[in-house]
Every structure is written in C-alpha cells, then in structure tokens.
Amino acid sequence: MALELIEETTTARGELLARKGDDRERAYLEALIARGVDVAMVPSVANGEVEQADAVAHTVDAMRMGAAVIYQAALEDGHWRGFAD
C-alpha cells in the first residue's frame, strides 16, 4: 500500500483557530489540575520529547495505574497510531 503525502497548508484563519484551540485546551487542563483531578501527563511525540513507543508505554502505564485523565495519550494498533485529544 503506497502512502500519499498531503501538502501542509497554513492560513491566518487556520493559525488563529489552532491558537484558540491550544489556549482552550491549556485552560481546561489547568482547571482539572486546580480541582485536584489525577492527570497523567504523557510526554509529547510532536514536540520531540519522546518517541512514539515511549509515549504509548507512558499511556499504558497511566491506564494501568487508573489515572482519571490522560493528557495527550498516545495510541497505536498495528499500522495505525494517534493521540487522544
């Protein structure tokens, strides 16, 4: 199976939406932490903090420990991989 690369495009509207989404996500995470919710933080693959396999291992560990919330959970199944958002 050949993979097709999709050209990344950037627009001012897209950047604004991304920034607003990031701000909202950050505020919600901070609110959960302030309320004392057990939040497991998975290191970021996108930011180069860890490799995919390590992020998945962190996610599985957090699930096994019963974390109430797993922030940026990394998931994979065979050729499929992604991040809970």
| Annotated domain spans of the chain | 12-83
Q: Residue 66's pLDDT is what?
A: 97
**How do beta strands 39-41 and 69-71 pair?**
parallel
Spell out, as residue ranges, where the chain has pLDDT lower than 50.
Answer: none
Which residue, 37, 35, 34, is CA-closest to 66? Answer: 37
Kindly report the backbone phi and psi dihedral angles of residue 44, in degrees, each rounded to the nearest multiple of 5, phi listed first.
-85, 125
Q: Residue 1's pLDDT is what?
A: 67
Q: Residue 9's pLDDT is what?
A: 85
Q: What is the pTM of this model?
A: 0.78
Write down the H helix ranges in 7-69: 12-34, 52-64
Q: Residue 52's pLDDT is what?
A: 93
Q: Residue 64's pLDDT is what?
A: 98
Q: Residue 78's pLDDT is what?
A: 87
